[in-house]
Amino acid sequence: MSYFPFFVDISDRECLIVGGGKIAYRKACAVLKYGAKVLVVAPEICEEFELLKKEYTGAVKTWQREFTDSDTDNRFFVIAATDDEKINKNVSEICFKKNILVNTVDRKEYCNFYFPSIVKKGDIVVGVSSGGKSPVLARELRKKIE
């Protein structure tokens, strides 16, 4: 089944990112460009998040600890970006039950939304997605559009 390509205003919306590594960092960078407020929860958080805190003053918080179910409370969307599939699946299941949008890196079945390949030129935004079936093709199409 194909996904409907929503364009959603995420400015000032609460985003939880579970995981503190390089992939979590890339996802944070992507949503911060569109005005989201980001909370990162992980036992280990890469130093790049400190730079994001300075660049996006007040929009980024980090909690260096294990994820708890209540971390999802009052979140508009959640990104599970750990290297532990059990944690990612748990985060996804909690979000599904609470009707929270969730993206779980590299596991289509744990997602109810995807990050498309994005081209942004001023106010024009183009998103290309293959529904998770061919990310390489989506990336190549994005490059051609750019």
Write down all domains in the chain, each with its CATH number in brackets.
Answer: 14-114 (3.40.50.720), 116-146 (3.30.160)
Please report the pLDDT score of residue 44 as a whole number: 97
Could you read off the pLDDT tens digit of each residue along the chain, which spans 146 residues?
677 778 899 999 999 999 999 999 999 999 999 999 999 999 999 999 999 999 999 999 999 999 999 999 999 999 999 999 999 999 999 999 999 999 998 888 898 888 888 888 888 888 888 776 777 888 888 888 88
Per-residue buried b or exposed e for 12-37, using 16+ beta carbons within 10 Å of the residue's own CB? ebbbbbbbbbebbbebbeebbeeebb
What interhelical angle do 48-55 and 22-32 show, nearest 10?
10
Please report the pLDDT score of residue 1 as a whole number: 62
